[in-house]
A and B are shown apart, each in its own frame.
Chain A
Amino acid sequence: MNLTALHERARLYQQVRVFFAGRQVLEVETPALSQAGNTDPFIDSFSVNTGNTLRWLHTSPEYPMKRLLAAGSGDIYQLCKVWRKDESGRHHNPEFTMLEWYRLGFTYPQLMQEVAELLLALIPHLQQPPRFCTYRELFLETLGIDPHLAGEAELANCAHEHGVNIDSSMSAQGWRDLLLTHCVESAFPADRLTFIYHYPAAQSALAKREYSNGQAVAQRFEVYLGALELGNGYQEQTDAAQNRQILEQDAAARGHDVPVDERFLAALESGLPECAGVAIGIDRVLMCRMQVNDIKQVIAFPWEVA
């Protein structure tokens, strides 16, 4: 247990609350244990037996926060614990702290600016201005390959040429994830925030889409410090039918192991205001602030000793 980390965490929470109070963003709380689960194909929820029925620990407060937005809450933020099954490593603890917020009327580039302002305040040694790159630019720059046009075989070849040994067959998106985590991220400057935007449309999840260079891309961004991913933001998809389609598709792809959040979908049908939203991994921000490289160093009692 690291006493400095306890103090730094408390100070960081204070700063976050001052930051949002100054911008009239309301702090909210939503349930951690829900009757529905996250249908995202690459995120697994813990289920909890509550007697008669199963409930699921939230992996982010996205669904209920959007219910609040639809109910007229205005700008909101939440600082809470979330849980993701089987995510454990130097940069992952299955139970971690998330900061999620939504800004009405913001475009996602405006939200990227706000994320940068917050992170520059929370990580004092960051001096350099952030850089903003599209997903395509980063792949072209680091690997000389267009991630939207390259097929499975080309992406696989690219990985092998760059010394990545893996004996798997994967979808094109699997190969993009591999190249991103093994080759692209490691080339990010260590002392500067990097924003990636315009993700492949297949990775939109609940973000809106747009066309860029004739290519459908997601209005979605990720923010990194060095190679460490800190957060993920969207121009939120406000179309109820689109949201339903994505959730039902994903639920079917995972064999309906978690129920779709019908209350969330009903709220969208009643009307979600135009907004942009983002979720930041607060433990990782604390790692950056304290300049340590293992998430266990910033958590009082990590998973193994919890």
Chain B
Amino acid sequence: MATYGANDLRVGVKIIINGDPYTVVESDFVKPGKGQAFTRCRVRNLKTGRTIEQTFKSTETAEAADVEDRDMEYLYTDGSAWTFMDSASFEQLEANEAAMGDAVKWLKGNEKCIVTLWNGVPLQVTTPNFAELKITQTDPGVRGDTATGGTKPATLETGAVVKVPLYMEEGEILKIDTRTGEYVSRVKA
């Protein structure tokens, strides 16, 4: 079993706490001059995304989490599993709904994603920062209104609903920032 000493718990290191995989997002060495030293960390749960504080005695170790990020291409879904292919080895893996999270909103096929694997099983899927998707349904636009800054909901080809400017029409393609889920611009067809 691979372990990290408390002094090696630097930002980005992945460890197991209470059976779950975590990544260290902040780490600080604290020690009263004449007393016990601690490594005080902020760690993010890779399954839930929740961040907590966790402290380790300087003499302790933490179990390393077998977590790796792999470049994979999204292929297709059957509605309950999402299939990805390793771009180098052509190995295929299935991610479940929990691992997909918000990624389902932005994928239609052939996107290059980062799939985070824990013990070889997809844990998290990170989509490209931007997606270009077609509007399948939205209320009729207000022609020429490019100035007022109002928005309306639009349903995209992946089923995601985003806020778009009033002048956008069905059939148009738009660019979305997948990190925030916000409209960026209209894409010229």
Contacts and interface: CB of A to CB of B under 8 A. Distances in A.
A92 interface: yes
Say which size band chain A's interface belongs to. Answer: 20 to 34
B29 A203 contact: no
Interface in B113-171: none
B34 A181 contact: no
Contacts of A163: 53
B54 A166 contact: yes
Contacts, number: 77
Interface of B: 7, 17-18, 28-38, 40, 52-58, 60
Contact of A165 (B32, B35, B55): B55
Interface in A10-62: 40, 42-43
Nearest to A220: B34
A166 B38 CA distance: 10
B30 A166 contact: no
A178 B55 contact: yes
A270 interface: no
A89 B36 contact: no
A178 B17 CA distance: 19
Contact of A178 (B29, B38, B53): B38
B60 A168 contact: yes
A229 B35 CA distance: 12
Question: What 7 A-B pairs have minimum CB-CB distances, sorted nearest first?
Answer: A89-B29, A177-B35, A177-B36, A166-B55, A181-B30, A165-B54, A174-B36
B56 A40 contact: no
Interface string A143-168: 00000000000000000000111111
Interface in A163-194: 163-168, 170, 173-174, 176-178, 180-182
A86 B55 contact: no
Given A164-B55, A176-B35, A177-B32, 5 more contacts: A86-B7, A167-B17, A167-B18, A181-B31, A232-B33
A87 B36 contact: no
A7 interface: no
B122 to A, nearest CB: 27
A180 B37 CA distance: 12
Contacts of B53: 163-165
A170 B30 contact: no
A166 B33 contact: no
A205 interface: yes
B29 A205 contact: no
A184 B38 CA distance: 15
Interface string A72-86: 000000000000001
B142 to A, nearest CB: 51
A134 interface: no
Contact of B31 (A92, A203, A205): A92
Interface in A198-227: 203, 205, 222
Contacts of B38: 166, 177-178, 181-182
